[in-house]
Structure 1
Amino acid sequence: MGINLEINPSIFNPIYLKYQLKNNNRYQIYFGGSSSGKSFSLAQRTVLDVFNGNRNYLIVRNVQGTIRRSCLNEVTKAISNLKLSEYFQVNKTEMVITCTLNDRQILFCGLDDPEKIKSITPKRGVITDIWVEEATECEYKAVKQLDKRLRGISKVTKRLTLSFNPILRDHWLYKDYFSIWQEDNKYIEKDNVSILKTTYKDNKFLTSDDIAALENESDPYYYEVYTLGNWGVLGAVIFKNWKVEDFTEIEKTFDNHRHGVDWGFADDPFAYIKSHYDKRRKRLYICDEIEVVGLLNDESAPLVKEKAGGSRVTCDSSEPKSVAEFKKLRVNAKSAKKGPGSIEYGIKFLQGLEIIIHPRCQNFKNEISKYKYKEDKNGNILPIPVDKDNHLIDALRYSLEDDMKSTGVSVLK
């Protein structure tokens, strides 16, 4: 029996109607702020896909106990809102929803029950869609195993859908999928991957109280992540006093540049950084960078010379031979006065500044967002920075050593 289903578009948030409802990319990511309607709209799509007789869904969260009061309830409400209750049988005990018109199903499971995941099979056909809700809770291997479950003959494109609020930038989701992402995007698709970012502003069904609660969030981390939908920094991360901003218009007025170099060749990159230090406002502008593996000194020197001109370039003192070679290559190089405690003092100094990063300095942005303190086995934060992926930060510390002295922060114990 065929049903001629007419649905008023006004029941959808417009951004999801445009980018989600007919999206057939293999990998689909829906992320952003709290109350942006991600789960609501995915539940709507799930119900319509199953009703139309083309798809079977497996909906998962990391822990099965959380599914009943989240995903299952969301899908059940969507069935009701779409006025399709007479066509669906909901078994809340087994957590299975079946469309009685075509025997297509929506199955629910937790990733903490791997044996059930392996054996779960729909009544008719194969699983065509897996939706991972709150994907940031899940381990990399678990999601990759889910991807392998999308197999078998099907008339429709199989899809793995991930929905979540972003958390920290060192999460595997960010590393795996967001290389195609640009911060000013709302939607992008490439190589069978699509990413849609939404916030509360994309959800027309919120009340004024809902909006006020989000806009009045006072905690910087929660405001960034849950209000603005941005990847955040928290916990053991060392620097939270930075932002990315295009300051091209005022850059021509900068006259107080600092230049630093951290040596590297094979495993570690050669790193150069250029900044402008506004002492009065305690503001540091990150203007330019070089980060390349495999450069010889006679290859890196001209690149630094081009950016620094005749200005002094403060270099890592661990390689006096490289400093001498830079001088011969007409770079105004000098060795940093490193010593015991210099890293801690440098971090303390930088933490006291407002750091503004030009969008062209992506490598520095990646470093500062992940640079963190060590933690013990119990998760307690130790006052020791992790010596990893910090080459541009080290170069920056060298370049500012004289400024640290003038403000009473010594680079030596």
Structure 2
Amino acid sequence: MSQTYQIKQNDIVVDLPKTVGAGYGQFWHSRSLYRVVKGSRGSKKSKTTALNYVIRLLKYSWANLLVIRRYSNTNKQSTYTDFKWAANQLKVAHKFKFNESLPEITIKATGQKILFRGLDDELKITSITVDVGSLCWAWFEEAYQIETEDKFSTVVESIRGSLDVPDFFKQITVTFNPWNERHWLKRVFFDEETRRADTFATTTTYKCNEWLDEVDIKRYEDLYHTNPRRARIVCDGEWGVAEGLIYENVTVKDFNKDELLQDSANKLCIGLDFGFTHDPTALCCSLINDTTKEIYVFDEAYKVGLITKEVAKMI
């Protein structure tokens, strides 16, 4: 970090540069409306974000934080635990009241809140209010799990208003592991032509995590030899899907399905998997060429709550 300073808690002194480590100086000090980190595995992005917010909340008594994950039940074992860890690392855990059942964290002296929610129903989040100060900060963790920009924007729009206090600022922090380059996160925050205004976006890797041991480092570096494609994602933080792919050799290009169908080698294949409430109905339309081993996917649908008549109309 670019500044050397300490936190004094009675007789306890915490050296921040030593506690937080290197690699996140610009992120730490950024006041851009959108503060975005695409971080590889082991890049300490979540831990650093939790440390940063503990410091900021104690510094700014008007601030409250909303922590968002795609599913609410994943907060307790991730972001909530990260905040407990951060408060202990900074030796300020006694200043917070931790309510694990909600979960929720309160600063005892001021009543400021750290609220944890999921995007199971994003509209419910828009009505959240706080008793003290302003709900002016939000942290979206593992944001690659959020399917659409609209879901994200619905919550962002609830971070509004202002306070007549010195140094007031609103901020949306977004952290995630690298994901498919066609994900909306790339277009919205990383592509220069389409990125949102007032955005700080960066990519971090395991190389900025000085607390990894030799075993961890060797495990990452071995990937460059054993699985270079995966290494580019897991180690270097490049866009891509590191695991779970059925087909890895995928190319996005324009083609005319009607022209391809004139070749008898290309067979039309329509796949339908019925769902309803929890599992979506999935439709995949493609052409398959057994000779060239190529599949041309030209249409798809993926939606919950469809009855049979609606499925038929969609097809």
Distance 1:13 1:196, change over 3 A: farther
Q: 2:145 aligns with which of 117, 137, 152?
A: 137
Q: Deviations over 1:374-399 (max 9, x none)?
A: 984447795332459xxxxxxxxxxx
2:94 alignment partner AA:
E
Q: Deviations over 1:107-146 (max 9, x none)?
A: 1111114354133222312211110000000132211111
Distance 1:341 1:33, change over 3 A: farther
Distance 1:341 1:23 in 2: 58
Q: 2:104 aligns with which of 77, 96, 102?
A: 96
Q: 2:180 aligns with which of 161, 168, 185?
A: 168
Secondary structure at the residue paired with 1:215?
Answer: helix
Secondary structure at the residue paired with 2:160?
Answer: coil
Distance 1:375 1:340, change over 3 A: closer
Secondary structure at the residue paired with 1:145?
Answer: helix
Structure 2 equivalent of residue 304 of structure 1:
none
- 8 Å CA contact retained: 2:36, 2:200: yes
Q: Please tell me whether residue 178 in structure 1 is matched to residue 190 in structure 2.
A: yes
Structure 2 equivalent of residue 31 of structure 1:
38
Distance 1:166 1:127, change over 3 A: same
Distance 1:168 1:84, change over 3 A: same
- 8 Å CA contact retained: 1:50, 1:106: no
Distance 2:247 2:272 in 1: 13
- 8 Å CA contact retained: 1:32, 1:225: no
Distance 1:377 1:219 in 2: 34
Structure 2 equivalent of residue 127 of structure 1:
135
Structure 1 equivalent of residue 202 of structure 2:
196
Distance 2:298 2:196 in 1: 34
Structure 2 equivalent of residue 14 of structure 1:
22
Pairwise CA distance, 1:235: 4.4
TM-score (norm 2): 0.72
**Range 113-122 or range 89-98, more displaced:** 113-122
**Range 198-207 or range 111-120, more displaced:** 111-120
Pairwise CA distance, 1:341: 7.1
Secondary structure at the residue paired with 1:35?
Answer: coil
What does 1:223-234 correspond to in 2, within 5 Å?
A: 223-232=231-240, 234=245
- 8 Å CA contact retained: 1:236, 1:381: no
- 8 Å CA contact retained: 2:285, 2:297: no
What does 1:271-310 correspond to in 2, within 5 Å?
A: none
Distance 2:272 2:20 in 1: 47
2:131 alignment partner AA:
K
Bigger Rg, which one: 1
- 8 Å CA contact retained: 1:34, 1:165: yes
Alignment length, in residue pairs? 257
Distance 1:83 1:215 in 2: 34
Q: Please tell me whether residue 76 in structure 1 is matched to residue 88 in structure 2.
A: no
Structure 2 equivalent of residue 152 of structure 1:
161
CA-based RMSD of the aligned residues comes to 3.2
Q: 2:69 aligns with which of 54, 61, 73?
A: 61
Distance 1:224 1:98, change over 3 A: same
- 8 Å CA contact retained: 2:62, 2:134: no
What does 1:376-391 correspond to in 2, within 5 Å?
A: 376-378=271-273, 383=288, 384-386=295-297
- 8 Å CA contact retained: 1:61, 1:110: yes
**Range 192-201 or range 112-121, more displaced:** 112-121
1:194 alignment partner AA:
F
- 8 Å CA contact retained: 1:128, 1:159: yes
Q: Deviations over 1:294-334 (max 9, x none)?
A: xxxxxxxxxxxxxxxxxxxxxxxx9xxxxxxxxxxxxxxxx
Distance 1:176 1:227 in 2: 23
